[in-house]
Structure 1
């Protein structure tokens, strides 16, 4: 791509001698620069990215895109410099241009919400493949093509930064995908990561307290998610009417635009997609009879809980709005499993049942425990450090509201004192336990807590290990230590089995 084309797109200028410089990639990490890249220098918490312009040039960068504050530093690198005020928005458009605007060659599905994004994306992915489509999946678990993981590094938790995202979409399109399912985080919407994408269908799962360390308050957090449901971002929307914010979005969409809408509910008979009946099967699956797209559809789910029935209905509504075969798609739902989302850990005879889930908000904790169908539950729960501290006590309370025993432990403490985080969670759990008699324990570190929970559970009980789900590491200080909940559960059960009753 000639640099002059990108300069025009950025609203910047470039010297005539540099106009024909060829740009073959784009990155905002100077450590990842490849020859031919445009290096994007953004302001950071400690340093401006333009500080690393010389390193980018040495690695093969052919130009720099930055904001006015980075101009002088970037110029010292000796490369052509493009300047833009709204550099993140420009970066998204430039990245799309460099990689041939791949989203325009794909059917793009975007899913946002506090909880349920990952599960809904996996259900939708399975449904689309059952309907004959080749799919890409972009989200918290990683990047997949037709259900198989791609070997790719990532720099964000959920939605990649726009240069990484556009390169990924180009790869998926070249590999034969015709549809991409993407989790769209509130951070991504605020930081312009998806600015160059016009989604074919966007869905809203639910809303609860989260990420207030970034957004400041719940209204700002909701406003960030609501950006997705506008004509500037999407053409069609699916909304959950069982959530008050879903009903608020429906009113906003109908008042301000003519977007095509489908509604989903387990409670509202007027919704477009609704469950007529659900029945738990002997093997733990759920059989669902639903109204979908104006006709009756039957499917099964391996994933427990009413919220997963709603997630499945959301996936089917997205399929229909895209103009694809809903009946064929429904047949694929029963094969969907999601790493770390109500994931059953294989256990030997005589052991309690164990599930691992990513639940890390009060709403998600409550929903996960309700999905365990009334079994006596021992829950292992922690909260992350350097994140919204005001959700910690409510998470403890949510666990104590449904569990017989709450073992409070560490999640990813990061730079905070783990014991101080646990104390806040314990406070919330004990306040709720005082009302209903649940037992609350400070389990200490996560491995010890898992071992205590297993020891306290009988063969007819269920142990729910919440908070980290699919994660395979635990961040303590600056280190990320190997730690996978499911693996530790099996290791600690083996230790308990060898030791016998205490």
Structure 2
């Protein structure tokens, strides 16, 4: 594939050679993995700067190199095309999606973000979808899977893979007949553009509590990173409005193209001043806790259904309720939702 086709949506400047003549057969962001006629994308990391390994990529046969700052060209073969872009992380995401023929567009992609609950919510959604006879892929903390079969990957990144590996996984899933992919989306991944070229049908927000401040520094930065997912969705944004930051997020995305669907827990005995007109779109009542399970009634825009979760605790009410809301957005019936949870 010509380099120009991979980066045509980006602003770029050719420092050496012409993108029209560079035919790319693979992509790498690790110079050690560059193959003959490959594209090397120089990423500025926290401890390692890929710009320092351009000559190594050239030795390994790179046909083209993407950089985001000025580099020394005198030692590179004149046959290598060198292109400067504003952000090589964004360029890696876009080029990878193009290289694999935009595979996320071939899937119904559900992204789940939040401090807590991403993994259990992901697997609640997976279980419901499989009850509805969907072929489901999962990407997250536990790994990548198609059904119950692990998906081979080079990714060493926890939770959300680097964009090149992510797009490769989407491609493998699409070729394997997966129709829906449920994916944990971390704040790190959103900040570092790993999901930038992914097309999410549904985004789910669980909650936000102090964590990961080594990267984001403040809760405000952390919140803004999480909110980035909901600019990437096409159909639904599912948001927990019992969470302080969820309420902020619901106000932020209320007028987005994707429809807002809120969820939360409604107490059986409302407090003074409770506003019944402000009920979430999907909500739980009549919660009963047992030693080994929890039951509740889930209310949705198309009716109510009894839910049993084989895990005790309020956190699993919220996580399963998020899955109920996501399944509703997928058009799954209440009976299959209850059986799947």
Q: TM-score scaled by structure 1?
A: 0.61
Which residue does the alignment assign to 1:261? 260
Q: Is 1:127 the counterpart of 2:136 in the alignment?
A: no
Deviation of 1:121 (Å): 0.8
Tell me which stretches of 4 or more aligned residues in structure 1 moved more than 6 Å.
15-18
Which residue does the alignment assign to 2:297? 289
Distance in 2, Cα, partners of 1:131 & 1:22: 43
My pick for the range that moved more, 298-307 or 44-53, is 44-53
Structure 1 pair 49–305 and aligned structure 2 pair: CA distance change class (3 A) = same
Deviation of 1:36 (Å): 4.1
Q: Do 1:292 and 1:313's aligned partners in 2 also have CA atoms closer than 8 Å? A: no
Q: Deviations over 1:262-281 (max 9, x none)?
A: 11111366122222323345
Partner of 1:173, secondary structure, is helix
Of residues 271, 277, 299, the one that matches 2:286 is 277
Which residue does the alignment assign to 1:66? 67
My pick for the range that moved more, 54-63 or 289-298, is 54-63
Q: Deviations over 1:300-359 (max 9, x none)?
A: 2222211111111111111222333343133111xxxxxxxxxxxxxxxxxxxxxxxxxx
Deviation of 1:141 (Å): 1.1
Q: Do 1:242 and 1:267's aligned partners in 2 also have CA atoms closer than 8 Å? A: no
Structure 2: unaligned runs, 5 residues or longer: 268-275
Q: Deviations over 1:27-46 (max 9, x none)?
A: 21123334443111122345
Distance in 1, Cα, partners of 2:329 & 2:7: 37
Deviation of 1:223 (Å): 1.3
Higher relative helix content: 1
Deviation of 1:227 (Å): 1.9
Distance in 2, Cα, partners of 1:28 & 1:82: 15
Distance in 2, Cα, partners of 1:318 & 1:113: 15
The CA RMSD measured in Å over matched residues stands at: 2.4
Distance in 2, Cα, partners of 1:324 & 1:22: 44
Structure 1: unaligned runs, 5 residues or longer: 334-502
Q: Is 1:332 the counterpart of 2:331 in the alignment?
A: no
Which residue does the alignment assign to 1:237? 237
Q: Do 1:236 and 1:261's aligned partners in 2 also have CA atoms closer than 8 Å? A: yes
Q: Is 1:40 the counterpart of 2:28 in the alignment?
A: no
Which residue does the alignment assign to 2:246? 246
Deviation of 1:61 (Å): 3.0
Q: Do 1:189 and 1:228's aligned partners in 2 also have CA atoms closer than 8 Å? A: yes
Q: Do 1:10 and 1:94's aligned partners in 2 also have CA atoms closer than 8 Å? A: no
Distance in 2, Cα, partners of 1:6 & 1:117: 32
Question: What pairs up with 1:445-456 in 2 under 5 angstroms?
Answer: none
Question: What pairs up with 1:48-447 in 2 under 5 angstroms?
Answer: 48-69=49-70, 71-72=71-72, 76=76, 79-230=80-231, 232-254=232-254, 256-267=255-266, 270-280=279-289, 284-333=292-341
Distance in 1, Cα, partners of 2:182 & 2:35: 28
> How many residue pairs end up in the alignment?
329
Partner of 1:72, secondary structure, is coil
Q: TM-score scaled by structure 2?
A: 0.88
Partner of 2:208, secondary structure, is coil
Q: Do 1:275 and 1:289's aligned partners in 2 also have CA atoms closer than 8 Å? A: yes
Distance in 1, Cα, partners of 2:99 & 2:203: 25
